[in-house]
Amino acid sequence: MVTRLVGLTGKPNVGKSTLYSALTMNIVKIADYPFTTLTPNKGVGYLRKKCVCKNLGVVDNPVNSRCVNGFRFIPVELVDLPGIVPGAHEGRGLGNQFLSEISVADALVHVVDSSGGLDVEGRPVEPDPENTLRDIRFLEEEYDRWLAGIIERGIQKAPKARPSRESVEEALSQVLSGLAIARRDVEKAVEKVNPPDNVSQWSSGVMLELAKAVRMTAKPMVIAANKVDKKGAEEGFRRMRDAGYNPIPISAEAELVLRRAVEAGLVEYYPGDSDFRIVRPEALKEKQVEALEMVRSRVLKTWGSTGVQELLDTVYFKVLNMITVYPVEDPGKLTDKKGNVLPDVYLVPQGMNVKEFAGLIHSDLMKSFLYAVDARRKIRLGEDYVLKDDDVVSIIATGRRA
Ligand SMILES: Nc1nc2c(ncn2[C@@H]2O[C@H](COP(=O)(O)OP(=O)(O)O)[C@@H](O)[C@H]2O)c(=O)[nH]1
Ligand SMILES: [Mg+2]
């Protein structure tokens, strides 16, 4: 499985912990996930994507995921990062630690209070919708200045090479190694900024430009416009949207209320649904009914859903450009060795070919790869075949029965 790590970030009190709790509450009851090294701030969330079972006319028995009402829920890793404060890039408030923690993530969810009711340090203030944009710019700036500092300190120490575009890319990649930044992203940044080939001529401005360009490709950010249930949130949301940020409206609290109610067996609801159903009205206290009705009227009816599921799905499927592929052993029955129908779904980056995919399933499968079978069209696929979203494939290898 190709994993991507999504980090939740934002200033204090925007609702990061609430969102993290909601996202990592396993109400779809997936038992099996491949992540073994979970630390206290790492957890498992679940993507929701239409399953291929209906379209293929089969009833499936998922193993690495779950299928509910025709939707696959797929486990993914999340990390809850500490809150950021102004001056973080200079080390204030554990700033450097925070910024290096951010660097382990492949994508960031920046949680913002849409009602604009918090100052830059996260203290409650008279709501101002402009606070939403201040938050976004401030985080970008702190990160860029921190990264520029790393470039500035590291680039002079890089081994001296004859000035060239190639040596610039090499030096910058080395300086940024350890920050989960791919060489490809460094090359894109260099292409965009076009710095002098001789690194000793780089000004602070050039280094800040490079930091910004690297951040934009290597650490894509999605804005979670939280607290949309609050008064004034619509205006803050609009500000962010009009500034070009594609914010996703969410209410982390509403999602948490719903998931807790599901856990308690009181309501039926699946993350991403536009409504819920009370299954045990007699067990509900008046306060709980009120809270649920509030969720329905202020969030679900107004915004279509709590947005929390859509947020995570957007990060993976639209920002990180991942697709889903279903490997099967038997391309006729669509089963694994044990007879499970459509047992696994894999998340893979767009552009991956089927031989590389074989390597994901098992490194031996890549070495002994002969060809693959497209289980829908029942045709052979050569090793260069580039996988498409929702492909169902069977890998045929030497010494391995189809
Ligand atoms: N109205 C509303 N309040 C929220 C929402 N999400 C979080 N909060 C509240 O915001 C406060 C800060 O939340 P918390 O998750 O601790 O924020 P963190 O400091 O970013 O981790 C708490 O009082 C939460 O109950 C939401 O969607 N709507
Ligand atoms: Mg918190």
CB of 236 within 6 A of ligand 1: the answer is: no
What is the pLDDT at residue 190? 97
State the DSSP string of 190-237.
HHHH---SSGGG--HHHHHHHHHHHHHHHS-EEEEEE-TTSTTHHHHH
Distance 19 CA to ligand 2 centre (A): 9
Q: Residue 37 corresponds to which tokens in the numbers above?
A: 């090294």
What is the pLDDT at residue 402? 45
Angle at CA of residue 92, ends 101 and 244, nearest 5°: 65
What is the pLDDT at residue 112? 97
Dihedral sign, CA of 280, 282, 285, 289? positive
Distance 221 CA to ligand 2 centre (A): 19
**Length of the chain, in residues:** 402
Determine how β-strand 369-374 pairs with β-strand 379-381. Answer: antiparallel
Q: Which residues pair with 223 in a beta bridge?
A: 110
Rounded to 10 degrees, what is the CA torsion of 38, 75, 214, 118? -80
> How many C-beta neighbours within 10 Å does residue 277 have?
8
Rounded to 10 degrees, what is the CA torsion of 81, 87, 91, 92? -80
What is the pLDDT at residue 93? 62
Is 45 strand, coil or helix?
Answer: strand
**Long-range CB contacts (< 8 A, 24+ apart) of 237-241?**
237/114, 237/132, 238/129, 239/129, 239/130, 239/132, 239/133, 240/112, 240/114, 240/132, 240/133, 240/136
Rounded to 10 degrees, what is the CA torsion of 63, 64, 66, 70? -90
Q: 60 — alpha (psi -120 to 50), left (phi > 0) or beta?
A: beta
CB of 229 within 6 A of ligand 1: the answer is: yes
- Please tell me the residue having the least CA distance from ligand 1 atom 13: 15
What is the pLDDT at residue 400? 56
List, for the chain, all residue ranges whose pLDDT scores fall below the cut of 70.
Answer: 1, 34-38, 92-96, 400-402
Which residue of 8, 13, 255 sits with most ligand 1 atoms within 8 Å of its CB, as the best mutation to test the pocket? Answer: 13
- Please tell me the residue having the least CA distance from ligand 1 atom 12: 13
Q: Residue 284 corresponds to which tokens in the numbers above?
A: 């509900």
Q: What is the pLDDT of residues 219-230, one digit of tens each?
A: 999 999 999 999
Q: What is the pLDDT of residues 175-230, one digit of tens each?
A: 998 787 889 999 999 999 999 999 999 999 999 999 999 999 999 999 999 999 99
Give backbone dihedrals phi and psi of 391, rounded to 5 degrees, phi first: -65, 145
CA 268 to CA 261: how far, in whole Å? 8
Which residue of 11, 17, 18 sits with most ligand 1 atoms within 8 Å of its CB, as the best mutation to test the pocket? Answer: 18
CA 191 to CA 189: how far, in whole Å? 5
CB of 227 within 6 A of ligand 1: the answer is: yes
For tokens 């606070």, what's the residue?
131
For tokens 């914010």, what's the residue?
247
CB of 113 within 6 A of ligand 1: the answer is: no
For tokens 């552009």, what's the residue?
351
For tokens 């950021």, what's the residue?
84
Characterize 159-195 residue by residue with b for buried, 16 or more Cβ atoms within 10 angstroms of its Cβ, and e for exposed.
Answer: eeeeeeeebbbbbbbebbeebbbeeebbbbbbeebeb
E strand or H helix that includes residue 73: strand 71-80
**Ordered structural domains, the chain, with CATH:** 326-397 (3.10.20.30)
